[in-house]
């Protein structure tokens, strides 16, 4: 049977300024452009229930929601309750505190902490993932990259990957190769392009090898492509629209 086509979603951090004043309007704009889903990074000026009601009305899928390391370590029940309201399957640890970086021991402990949190979320029917930046590749030890140490010290069923293509490239590694390395453990892919000067740019306008990335993602079992652009040259909605149009032109 042919694998289900991954959902094309927007990480709402891209629209954080708009969402701060009009989260519901931001959601409507995402739908109008043509995206199928969203990934949450907070709720802007709306309540969780208001966001849930809006996405249901708009027929948008909440693919995943970001959560902080502290909340996952110390208050996973609040994360579980929020996900219960929103109906998302995936919860993503958005980053690491500074004190966990810079040492192999810090990354090993991170893997262990997220393994415990992931086990608790799994009991509640949720899947925990970790979202990388470039520092996990900048931190390289005798034991390997910080990125790999997190996963080597956690169980795949308790911690999977949300691989961010831009940040892997920024860290000096090949995004497609890393997606293949974590095949079966990388359900979420942040598709984010890099300009010639190393900055953020719209999907298809930069230097990343998208055919290789999408091929690796498909064969590795990705269920969602999530567009995120940390900074945009103008209106972020224009950037999201251009990324959507360029994506539609690709043979994905």
Q: What is the pTM of this model?
A: 0.97
Looking at every residue in the chain, the average pLDDT score rounds to: 97
**Which neighbouring-strand residues pair with 190?**
164, 226
Q: What is the mean pLDDT of residues 137-162?
A: 97
pLDDT in tens, 41-83: 999 999 999 999 999 999 999 999 999 999 999 999 999 999 9
pLDDT in tens, 231-240: 999 999 999 9
Q: What pLDDT, on the 0 to 100 scale, is given for residue 3?
A: 63
pLDDT in tens, 1-41: 456 899 999 999 999 999 999 999 999 999 999 999 999 99
Tokens of 86: 């929103």
Q: What pLDDT, on the 0 to 100 scale, is given for residue 4?
A: 81
pLDDT in tens, 169-217: 999 999 999 999 999 999 999 999 999 999 999 999 999 999 999 999 9
Q: Please name the residues in contact with 24: beta carbons below 8 A apart, sequence gap of 6 or more.
A: 46, 50, 51, 54
Q: What pLDDT, on the 0 to 100 scale, is given for residue 13?
A: 98
Q: Does the domain at residues 7-249 carry the CATH identifier 3.40.640.10?
A: no
Answer yes or no: is pLDDT of 84 > 50: yes
Q: What pLDDT, on the 0 to 100 scale, is given for residue 2?
A: 53
CB-CB neighbours of 149 under 10 Å: 23
Domain ranges of the chain: 7-249
Q: What pLDDT, on the 0 to 100 scale, is given for residue 100?
A: 96
């Amino acid at each position: 049977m042919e694998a289900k086509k991954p959902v094309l979603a927007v990480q709402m951090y891209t629209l954080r300024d708009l969402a701060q004043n009009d989260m519901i309007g931001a959601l409507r704009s995402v739908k109008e452009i043509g995206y199928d889903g969203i990934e949450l990074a907070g709720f802007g000026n709306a309540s969780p229930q208001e966001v849930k009601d809006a996405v249901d009305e708009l027929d948008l899928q909440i693919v995943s929601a970001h959560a902080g390391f502290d909340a996952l370590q110390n208050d996973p029940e609040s994360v579980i309750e929020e996900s219960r309201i929103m109906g998302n399957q995936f919860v993503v640890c958005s980053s690491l505190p500074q004190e966990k970086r810079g040492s192999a021991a810090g990354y090993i402990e991170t893997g262990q902490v997220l393994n415990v949190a992931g086990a608790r979320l799994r009991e509640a029917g949720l899947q925990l993932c970790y979202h990388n930046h470039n520092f996990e590749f900048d931190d390289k030890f005798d034991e390997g990259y910080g990125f790999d140490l997190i996963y080597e010290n956690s169980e795949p069923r308790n911690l999977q990957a949300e691989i961010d293509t831009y940040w892997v490239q920024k860290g000096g590694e090949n995004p497609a190769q890393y997606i293949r390395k974590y095949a079966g453990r990388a359900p979420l892919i942040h598709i984010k392009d890099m300009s010639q000067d190393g900055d953020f740019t719209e999907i298809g306008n930069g230097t990343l090898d998208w055919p290789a990335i999408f091929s690796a993602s498909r064969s590795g079992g990705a269920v969602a492509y999530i567009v995120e652009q940390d900074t945009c040259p103008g209106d972020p909605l224009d950037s999201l629209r251009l990324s959507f149009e360029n994506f539609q032109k690709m043979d994905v």
